[in-house]
Amino acid sequence: MTEATQNQQTAIRVYYRTLLSAWGRQHWWPAQARFEVIVGAYLTQNTSWTNVEKALGNLRKARLLTIRGIRRTPQSQLEQLIRPSGYFRQKAQRLKLFVDFLDARYSGSLTRMFARPTMELREELLALNGVGPETADSILLYAGNHPIFVVDAYTRRILERHQIVSRTADYDEIRLLVERALSEEREPKRSLYGPAARAVGGPSGSSHRPSRMSTSARTGMVQALNEMHGLIVGVGKTYCLKSQPRCEQCPLQKFLPAAE
């Protein structure tokens, strides 16, 4: 490992602990079951989480937020239920294709699917229509508890502005960097979780209410990758804006290179 790579990984670990101390657990992914996470990963493409929650609410109210529900629902009906998430025709078709894939390859069993080695399953997911790296990795990490990091636009923006990665770094380069940086993280001591921001009514990252999925048992590394993505989303949405960033109030401001 080069000195530059070691410095990158050290910075990521420091950022993780700093944000966790400031904001505490983020409780991502907010869902009651694995399949709900998968549906959410599809629906969140090119839209806000607020719109996804409306679509999930429609499916839940209709009692169709299950593998069987998506399987037996006519596509036209499914389209109307998920309409709030946008691109509803594409997304309905892609959800149907995922269930067809699950039925054909794993007899409709998520347990069988998630028992596959991480990178082998990732390749299978990436081969599905409408599944890119971010969607595949969200499914693997949040629904399957696989040790893989989800790289989104917030991650790239923050790491570029802090000069940890270059503008030419590709998705997997950033993913592997974060995974290696957090590979030895263990379940943090309770004292590291920082509820102070919530206590005074301030920002708390992208925190959600605890859910069955967000509180499920997982390894220390998977938990760290889970939290890191939620924390990064919090920084991106609240402070590291695309234009007119609010660096002065950000917990990571002290690490920002002087030139920025």
User: How many residues in total does the chain contain?
Assistant: 260
- pTM: predicted TM-score of the whole model, two decimal places: 0.93
Residue that is last in its domain, among 110, 143, 176: 143
d(CA 259, CA 227): 29
The predicted-structure confidence for 133-186, as pLDDT tens digits, reads as follows 999 999 999 999 999 999 999 999 999 999 999 999 999 999 999 999 999 887
Mean of pLDDT values over 232-236: 96
R_g of the chain, CA atoms, integer Å: 19
| Number of domains within the chain | 2
Domain that holds residue 239: 3-28+150-255
Clarify whether residues 127 and 163 are in a common domain. no
161 contacts 123 by C-beta, under 8 angstroms: no
At residue 191, the pLDDT reads: 46
d(C-alpha 21, C-alpha 52), whole Å: 29
According to the model, what pLDDT value does residue 201 have?
41
Same-domain check for residues 74 and 134: yes
State yes or no: pLDDT of 202 exceeds 90.
no
Task: Say which CATH number the domain at 158 has.
Answer: 1.10.1670
Q: Grade residue 203 by pLDDT with cuts at 50, 70 and 90.
A: low
Q: Which of 143, 161, 182 is the last residue of a domain?
A: 143
Does residue 23 share a domain with residue 47?
no
Fill in the amino acid letter for 140: L
Classify residue 74 as exposed, middle or buried by CB count within 10 Å of its CB (0-12, 13-18, 19+). exposed
pLDDT tens across 9-21, in order? 999 999 999 999 9
Tokens of 173: 């380069």
Does residue 186 belong to any structural domain of this protein? Answer: yes
Residues 41 and 132 both lie in one domain: yes
pLDDT in tens, 71-92: 999 999 999 999 999 999 999 9
